[in-house]
Amino acid sequence: MIKVLLVDREGISSEGLRLIIEREREMKWVGTYFQKEEVIHAVQEKQPDIVVFHINQSHHTVIELTKEIKSISKQIKIIYILSFIEPTFITNSIKAGVEGYFLSHSDHTNFVSMIKNIYHNHYVITEDIAVTILQQFQKGDEKQRLHAKLLEKEIDLTWRELDIAFLIYQRKKNKEIAQSLHLKEKTVRDYVSIIYKKLGVNKRLLVINLLENLIAEEPEDNFQ
């Protein structure tokens, strides 16, 4: 019997999934929770095999909660059901130990086979998410080089600030950044102000010029 625990802010979103799980003889729904303390307590008490997060927006607390669940038992498998595709959030969650990803608008009849595959130690990622991850890795070298160069200058941006700074470098406007990262435009403006302060500039063009120069710098030769 595969025990499945759902984590969902509203509960309504996961109702259909609960019904699908309950129809399966090999599966058992053990509860739906959202608050961190409730989730941790339920994981410890009910010892689920699979924990499914229904996520409507990216948030670092989701990844932190994933890490805590994994610290309780590495045998617990984690699935994220996403209503968005945000590359950095996905790559950070992979590092946290997530085994499967499923888009909320995908056919839920495939969800049962996904749970079974993950239960039997397979990783499952839908095609559109896989493409996003590959694209992220292709861009990753440049972004990682930028991050390293900023740290050399003692400029420490958070992963979210780095995402936004990199999109500014790509000449994206605030509205485009907000759409790309599934944030409110005001939130992006707030992040941009923080980035200005950390970089010591007061204009967008100066941010672009600074980042272009950092990325263009040759790597240091440590063998001279």
Q: How confident is the model at residue 41 (pLDDT cuts 50, 70, 90)?
A: very high
Report the distance separating Cα 161 and Cα 155, nearest Å: 11
pLDDT of residue 189: 95
Q: What global pTM score does this model have?
A: 0.62
pLDDT of residue 32: 93
- Mean per-residue pLDDT, 123-144: 74
- Mean per-residue pLDDT, 186-190: 94
Report the distance separating Cα 169 and Cα 185, nearest Å: 17
The CA-atom distances, in angstroms, between 3 and each of 24, 28, 30, 50 are 11, 5, 6, 6
% of the chain beyond a pLDDT of 70: 90
% of the chain beyond a pLDDT of 90: 49
* 202/110: higher pLDDT: 202
| pLDDT tens-digit map of 150-176 | 988 899 898 889 989 999 999 999 999
pLDDT of residue 69: 97
Q: How confident is the model at residue 137 (pLDDT cuts 50, 70, 90)?
A: low
Structural domains of the chain sorted by starting position, each given as residue range(s) with its CATH number in brackets? 2-125 (3.40.50.2300), 137-216 (1.10.10.10)
- Mean per-residue pLDDT, 86-90: 76
pLDDT at 57 over 70: no
Q: How many CB atoms lie within 10 A of CB 145?
A: 15
The mean predicted confidence, pLDDT, of the chain is: 86
pLDDT of residue 66: 95
pLDDT at 222 over 50: no
pLDDT of residue 174: 95
Helix (H) or strand (E) run with residue 61 in it: helix 60-72
Structure tokens at 140: 């990753």
pLDDT of residue 200: 94
